[in-house]
């Protein structure tokens, strides 16, 4: 076989191995993984009295993720930033294309360095976020605030909070209503209860929202006009809210958490610190008393967990969406109607799988290279022996 043909064959094999591994790991792998996910049906759902007999298309299809932690200019290595942001962008865009959610909630810690980034770096982070999480007008993107976005309680100030709210064009504490379902968004960073100006403002808004929701329920039950005590209140659909926030409600630890996305076994029994890892007992009880939510969705811990508060208020902690925080990121698919809801979890490709594919491709390249070298060496030896034999015959 001519030498140039062998070289071309080796080159084609090398390109096929490298290109195939790259295309699979950076594009294709997200499709079969997310295709395993599906919107849960609400025929046997939780969160309502009896079975909700509304048609499936009347339920809100909500995708919930958390803790994206876009790296900043200070602590983010360029390759780490490139790798993890590409992973989140491909995962998000593939999920949007395959699952078509009506609304996407991100439960805080959008940015990793929002608490200290300069205006220039902040604008760069925001630009990258909008590129990664771009979406069509058919999907609404709703973002909550986390401690890495505006700082922990002792670090936050009005400038950081208003900068965040301006970017996402909405108050950090409000109610979003879709198809008769109330989604309550809580700025949990400001629930220390120490009377700080931002804390007072957020608690005042939460009390107002609680009054509005309670008046809506009472007005529906009474069947008459607006009650005198509810004059001036804003009416919402008369259903208990789905409460979304960054910090989980108070729990002692993750000891009772199970599943493949739970915290590692050696970390589950570590005690949580109030006002740092979870909300305080007092703040948690106030939220439950004010709103009586049928479901709480939270982030912050980077791990999954299901907790039942006071034997009637379920909370689901949503794991991080980024490889930087865990090997197996995931997000929640929620089908929610005014009377019930159902949840399912959708796992993304594991980073270890991608690394394993690249290592296998590297091993194949090495074997191809060694085989080529050995073949060329054997060919040269044959040619040398032939030339030597001809020389002797002469």
Query: d(Cα 332, Cα 284) in Å, to the nearest integer?
Result: 23
What is the dotted CATH code of the domain comprising 58-220+232-352?
Answer: 3.60.21.10
Q: Which pLDDT does position 376 carry in this prediction?
A: 62
Cα radius of gyration (the chain): 28
Find, among 150, 147, 183, 182, the residue nearest to 165 by Cα: 150
Query: d(Cα 170, Cα 114) in Å, to the nearest integer?
Result: 17
Q: What HEC string does 279-313 produce? A: CCHHHHHHHHHHHCCCEEEECCCCCCEEEEECCCE
Query: d(Cα 342, Cα 46) in Å, to the nearest integer?
Result: 6
Is the dihedral angle over the CA atoms 17, 22, 24, 29 positive or is it negative? Answer: positive
Q: Which pLDDT does position 83 carry in this prediction?
A: 87
Own/partner contacts of 93-96, CB < 8 Å, gap of 24 or more, are: 93/134, 94/30, 94/31, 94/34, 95/34, 95/37, 95/63, 95/331, 95/346, 96/135, 96/136, 96/139
Q: Do the Cβ atoms of 294 and 341 come closer than 8 Å?
A: yes
Cα angle value 94/262/299 (rounded, 5°): 65
Query: d(Cα 59, Cα 180) in Å, to the nearest integer?
Result: 9
DSSP 8-state class, residue 314 = E
Q: Which pLDDT does position 55 carry in this prediction?
A: 47
Burial class, 204, CB count within 10 angstroms (exposed 0-12 / middle 13-18 / buried 19+): exposed
Q: Which pLDDT does position 242 carry in this prediction?
A: 97
Q: Does this model's pTM top 0.85?
A: yes
Query: d(Cα 90, Cα 125) in Å, to the nearest integer?
Result: 18
- Residue 104, sorted as left (phi over 0), alpha (psi -120 to 50) or beta, turns out to be beta
From first to last of the 394 residues of the chain, give the pLDDT tens digit. Answer: 455 566 667 677 777 777 888 888 999 999 999 999 999 998 655 655 444 445 456 899 999 999 999 998 887 778 888 888 999 999 999 999 999 999 999 999 999 998 888 999 999 999 999 999 999 999 999 999 999 999 988 889 999 999 999 999 888 899 999 999 999 999 999 998 888 899 999 999 999 999 999 999 888 776 655 566 787 788 899 999 999 999 999 999 999 999 999 999 999 999 999 999 999 999 999 999 999 999 999 999 999 999 999 999 999 999 999 999 999 999 999 999 999 999 999 999 999 999 999 898 888 878 877 776 766 665 555 556 555 555 545 4
DSSP 8-state class, residue 353 = H
Is the dihedral angle over the CA atoms 152, 157, 159, 163 positive or is it negative? Answer: positive
Kindly compute the dihedral angle of the four CA atoms of residues 9, 11, 12, 13, in this order, to the nearest 10 degrees.
Answer: 90
Q: Which pLDDT does position 50 carry in this prediction?
A: 40
Q: Helix H segments across the chain?
A: 3-23, 30-35, 78-99, 119-132, 147-150, 158-168, 197-222, 281-291, 351-393
Q: How many CB atoms lie within 10 A of CB 388?
A: 9
For the sheet with 305-309, list strands across it: 174-178, 181-186, 242-245, 295-298, 313-317, 305-309
Residues contacting 105, CB < 8 A, separation 6+: 62, 63, 64, 65, 142, 143, 144, 183, 244, 297
């Amino acid at each position: 076989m001519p030498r140039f043909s062998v070289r071309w064959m080796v080159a084609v094999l090398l390109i096929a191995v490298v290109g195939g591994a790259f295309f699979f790991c950076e594009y294709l792998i997200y499709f079969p993984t997310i295709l395993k996910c599906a919107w849960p049906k609400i025929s046997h759902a939780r969160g309502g009295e009896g079975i909700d007999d509304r048609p499936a298309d009347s339920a809100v299809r909500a995708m919930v993720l958390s803790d994206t932690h876009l790296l900043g200019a200070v602590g983010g290595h360029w390759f780490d930033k490139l790798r993890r942001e590409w992973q989140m962008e491909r995962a998000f865009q593939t999920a949007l294309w395959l699952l078509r959610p009506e609304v996407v909630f991100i439960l805080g810690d959008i940015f990793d360095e929002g608490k200290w980034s300069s205006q220039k770096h902040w604008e760069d982070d925001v630009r990258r976020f909008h590129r990664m999480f771009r979406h069509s007008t058919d999907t609404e993107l709703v973002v909550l605030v986390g401690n890495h976005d505006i700082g922990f309680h002792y670090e936050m100030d009005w400038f950081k909070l208003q900068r965040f709210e301006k970017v996402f064009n909405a108050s950090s504490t409000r109610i979003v209503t879709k198809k008769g379902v109330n989604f309550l968004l809580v700025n949990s960073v400001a629930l220390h209860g120490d009377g700080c100006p931002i804390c007072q403002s957020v608690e005042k808004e939460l009390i107002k929202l609680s009054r509005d929701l309670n008046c809506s329920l009472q007005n529906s039950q009474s069947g008459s006009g607006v009650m005198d005590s509810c004059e001036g209140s804003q009416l919402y659909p008369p259903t208990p809210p789905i409460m979304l926030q960054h910090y989980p409600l108070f729990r002692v630890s993750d000891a009772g958490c199970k599943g493949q996305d739970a915290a590692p076994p050696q970390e589950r029994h570590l005690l949580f610190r109030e006002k740092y890892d979870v909300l305080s007992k007092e703040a948690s009880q106030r939220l439950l008393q004010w709103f009586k939510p049928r479901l709480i969705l939270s982030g912050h811990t980077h791990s999954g967990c299901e907790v039942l508060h006071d034997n009637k208020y379920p909370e689901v902690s949503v794991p991080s969406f980024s490889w930087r925080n865990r090997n197996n990121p995931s997000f929640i698919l929620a089908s929610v109607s005014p009377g019930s809801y159902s949840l399912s979890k959708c796992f993304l490709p594991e980073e270890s799988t991608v690394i394993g594919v690249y290592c296998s491709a590297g091993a194949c390249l090495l074997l191809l290279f060694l085989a080529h070298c050995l073949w060329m060496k054997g060919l040269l030896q044959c040619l040398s022996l032939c030339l030597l034999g001809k020389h002797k015959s002469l």
